[in-house]
Amino acid sequence: MTFALLTSVITGYGQGIKHNIKIEQALAAIDTAFVKNDTARFNQLMPLEEIQNYYAELVQKNISRKAGAHQVLRISKESAFILLTGLPISGNSGDETNSALHYSGIYLLKKNGTNWQIADRIAFDRLNQIISQHIGLEVKPGEGMAVNDTLTINVKDRNGFAVRLNHRAGLSIVSLNGQKVPYSFDGGLLWVAAPLKQQQQLLLRYSLQVESDDKNVNSGYFGATYGHVRNQYCWHPFFSYSSPNDRAEFVVHCSLPVDYPLSTSLPQTDRTSGKLRFIAARSENPTFALSLYYDKGWQVSRQQKDNTNLVIYATKDFEPARDTLYRYFAETSDILSDRFGPARSTYLGIVQDRSGGGNGWKNRSNNTIISAAKGSYLIVNTPRPRAIFGHEVAHGWTTPSGPAANFLSEGWATYCESYLLAKRYTDTIIKPFFASQRSNYLTGGYEGKTNLNNDYNNSGVSYGKGAWIFYMLEKQLGRERLGAAMRVFIRSNQQDVNNFIRVVSREAGEDMAPMIRPWLENKTIPLLSIRQQDQRLIVRQEGDLFVFPLSISLKLKNGSYANKVIMINSREQSIDVSKIDLESYQADPYAESLFQLKEK
Ligand SMILES: [Zn+2]
């Protein structure tokens, strides 16, 4: 682990900070409590529930901890901003860094009598921006990498500039606008004493040894034959996993031994010269972080469909076979572009990760789909309908950021599955598909736990619930108009949820915010009760309030049926049934809304 704290009192930064013995004591006490297994004591010093929960989990899992650098960034009579860092010791440095960032950060202290106490945590990405990253990279398979990263940043936060970075990075240069700059690097957090200014150049040079523990390969593993660092390994600096403020342009120049093909997760070109391979990559869309994969055994193949290159980074025996992948990719692209216009992306890579063996599609990183040693089926109708590869292709149509970003990426791609499945197996597949998405949501433990707006870490809630929102919009607007709205949204360079709502509203001819927002804000789905009272059928929202159309099928005593649609938009609504001879009723007979019925 690398640690560099130049000075505990930064001169020229947060001017006139004197050594404050009381604050120093308060921080030292927190450091001590962080390391010890005394939850009551820690909670006494750290009143923030989120941090308390994090600490309790580490204690419960028996994960030991190191206290890191702390320092006062700014101080006034009654309050102070401080940097507090620490590190859990759990195995892989990438996982440790991400875990540490639940704790390492900038905090607000308030004076209470003569003592200083933690009052709040300040998101270090709240005002600053990362505009671009130009990375010079030398990859040494089986060992690690040397990184030369020039970030263009906007600093609007008086607390300086802070980013996450793998805590093992051995920094040799930290300079700002060509000058040495005071900084602190500990607990996976790099803090730089940056002044308020736009368009500053932050140069970082560091080496990073990557683990080669073949029992712990998820975030990062560098073997002699193959290896990778996922974005979550934090091998280059970034804020977090969908902060609207670090959608950066990336340019990468990478060199490595000629016999190792490598994917940067971005559109890239290769050339070789003597014993070296040179890769030049550039992001198509702003992004927060990159993944790297290399494998000596790969045969890289390229094919083009319309404007999009499909590049397969895999060994010769990879399954599914290359022509199958290409055919399905071409078919999916045609179906999606017919309805939604051209993809935003011109490059799709399929990258084989042999480190964990097995088969399956693992995840997506920028322009690449990561596969296990072997891929998996592409589309299936039973027992649970999935267009799993089409889902990945569909990601090429949106590049969202900010709140609800995963609704617009995972919810969107899951919704596209319903369309691709319908094209393959006819529309009869749509109901079972959304029934299984509903059941994924309910059995996934998301209800009451997390909402779509804040699903920054992609917990899983955005897939089923997100797809259902698109489906309900489709039912309300019709397939054609939702398709038209998505064409506009996909073309636009403002890939956020506010613009999505604006575009859908324009197509719908009414403000759709009152309908869409509660679905993104509530941590639940509607809980309804329905009862017949006197001459009315009363529908009541028992939980959080939502807005959506609900159809109710009424069976009359003469054997005929009538269908009523009510716009659910308040706590309680009713249908007049005084003029009909009602025998029974059924809510949502066509399974077109997402809700739960309260047991009677
Ligand atoms: Zn996805």
Residue 478 and residue 356 in one domain: yes
364 CA from centroid of ligand 1 (Å): 7
150 CA from centroid of ligand 1 (Å): 30
Residue 472 placed within a domain: yes
464 CA from centroid of ligand 1 (Å): 11
Is the per-residue pLDDT at 164 higher than 70?
yes
126 CA from centroid of ligand 1 (Å): 27
The CATH number for 539's domain is: 2.60.40
Residue 308 placed within a domain: no
Residue 107 and residue 206 in one domain: no
CB contact set of 378 (below 8 Å; sequence gap of 6+):
320, 324, 325, 328, 387, 388, 389, 390
Residue 473 structural domain: 317-524
Main-chain dihedrals φ then ψ at residue 102, nearest 5 degrees: -70, -20
| Among candidate residues 64, 99, 122, the one where a domain is terminated | 122
Q: d(Cα 260, Cα 474) in Å, to the nearest integer? A: 47
392 CA from centroid of ligand 1 (Å): 6
Mean pLDDT for the stretch of residues 214-232: 96
The first and second tokens of residue 476, run together, are: 């309300």
The CATH number for 14's domain is: 3.10.450.50
Is the per-residue pLDDT at 4 higher than 50?
no
The CATH number for 351's domain is: 1.10.390.10
Residue 436 and residue 498 in one domain: yes
Q: d(Cα 425, Cα 285) in Å, to the nearest integer? A: 33
438 CA from centroid of ligand 1 (Å): 17
Is the per-residue pLDDT at 3 higher than 90?
no
588 CA from centroid of ligand 1 (Å): 29
Phi-psi region of 185 (alpha: psi -120 to 50; beta: other; left: phi over 0): beta
Residue 40 placed within a domain: yes
476 CA from centroid of ligand 1 (Å): 25
159 CA from centroid of ligand 1 (Å): 35
217 CA from centroid of ligand 1 (Å): 21
Is the per-residue pLDDT at 338 higher than 60?
yes
Residue 311 placed within a domain: no
509 CA from centroid of ligand 1 (Å): 30
Q: Note the pLDDT of residue 116.
A: 95
228 CA from centroid of ligand 1 (Å): 20
Main-chain dihedrals φ then ψ at residue 255, nearest 5 degrees: -125, 145
Q: Note the pLDDT of residue 59.
A: 97
106 CA from centroid of ligand 1 (Å): 32
16 CA from centroid of ligand 1 (Å): 50
Q: d(Cα 219, Cα 164) in Å, to the nearest integer? A: 15
Residue 491 placed within a domain: yes
Residue 509 and residue 426 in one domain: yes
Mean pLDDT for the stretch of residues 172-189: 98
| Among candidate residues 122, 151, 178, the one where a domain is terminated | 122
293 CA from centroid of ligand 1 (Å): 19
523 CA from centroid of ligand 1 (Å): 21
Q: pTM of the prediction? A: 0.83
Residue 310 placed within a domain: no
The CATH number for 233's domain is: 2.60.40.1730
Mean pLDDT for the stretch of residues 68-96: 95
Quick: pLDDT tens for 92-116. 999 999 999 999 999 999 998 989 9
177 CA from centroid of ligand 1 (Å): 38
Q: d(Cα 541, Cα 524) in Å, to the nearest integer? A: 12
Is the per-residue pLDDT at 330 higher than 70?
yes
395 CA from centroid of ligand 1 (Å): 7
Burial class (CB in 10 A: 0-12, 13-18, 19+), 346: middle
565 CA from centroid of ligand 1 (Å): 33
DSSP 203: E
333 CA from centroid of ligand 1 (Å): 16
| Among candidate residues 122, 137, 161, the one where a domain is terminated | 122
410 CA from centroid of ligand 1 (Å): 5
458 CA from centroid of ligand 1 (Å): 10
466 CA from centroid of ligand 1 (Å): 12
398 CA from centroid of ligand 1 (Å): 11
Identity of the amino acid at 106: I
Higher pLDDT, 4 or 385: 385
Quick: pLDDT tens for 120-144. 999 999 999 999 999 999 999 999 9
124 CA from centroid of ligand 1 (Å): 27
Residue 204 and residue 345 in one domain: no
Residue 144 and residue 189 in one domain: yes
Quick: pLDDT tens for 464-500. 999 999 999 999 999 999 999 999 999 999 999 999 9
360 CA from centroid of ligand 1 (Å): 13
Q: Are 121 and 245 in contact (CB under 8 A)?
A: no
CA-based angle 462:463:469, to the nearest 5? 75
Q: Note the pLDDT of residue 286.
A: 83
Burial class (CB in 10 A: 0-12, 13-18, 19+), 244: middle
Residue 489 and residue 557 in one domain: no
Residue 516 and residue 558 in one domain: no
The first and second tokens of residue 284, run together, are: 């198509």
Q: Are 9 and 17 in contact (CB under 8 A)?
A: yes
The first and second tokens of residue 443, run together, are: 């059995």
> Which among 270, 282, 280 is positioned nearest to 313, based on CA atoms?
270
Residue 553 and residue 540 in one domain: yes
Mean pLDDT for the stretch of residues 42-71: 97
462 CA from centroid of ligand 1 (Å): 10
pLDDT category at 243 given cuts 50, 70, 90 is confident
Q: Are 187 and 87 in contact (CB under 8 A)?
A: yes
Q: Note the pLDDT of residue 175.
A: 98
Higher pLDDT, 219 or 459: 219
Residue 365 and residue 508 in one domain: yes
452 CA from centroid of ligand 1 (Å): 15
Residue 303 placed within a domain: no
241 CA from centroid of ligand 1 (Å): 14
Mean pLDDT for the stretch of residues 196-206: 98
Residue 578 placed within a domain: yes
The tokens 């404050």 sit on which residue?
20
Q: d(Cα 307, Cα 185) in Å, to the nearest integer? A: 43
Percentage of the chain with pLDDT > 70? 97
Q: Note the pLDDT of residue 211.
A: 97
Q: How many domains does the chain have?
A: 4
396 CA from centroid of ligand 1 (Å): 10
Residue 531 and residue 552 in one domain: yes
170 CA from centroid of ligand 1 (Å): 34
pLDDT category at 10 given cuts 50, 70, 90 is very low
Identity of the amino acid at 304: Q
Sheet containing 64-75, strands listed edge to edge, beginning at the edge strand earlier in sequence: 64-75, 79-89, 105-112, 115-122
**Range among 22-26, 425-429, 533-537 rated most confident:** 425-429
Q: d(Cα 133, Cα 387) in Å, to the nearest integer? A: 34
Residue 108 and residue 133 in one domain: no
350 CA from centroid of ligand 1 (Å): 14
165 CA from centroid of ligand 1 (Å): 25
Higher pLDDT, 62 or 247: 62
598 CA from centroid of ligand 1 (Å): 32
Q: Are 388 and 379 in contact (CB under 8 A)?
A: yes
Mean pLDDT for the stretch of residues 53-65: 97
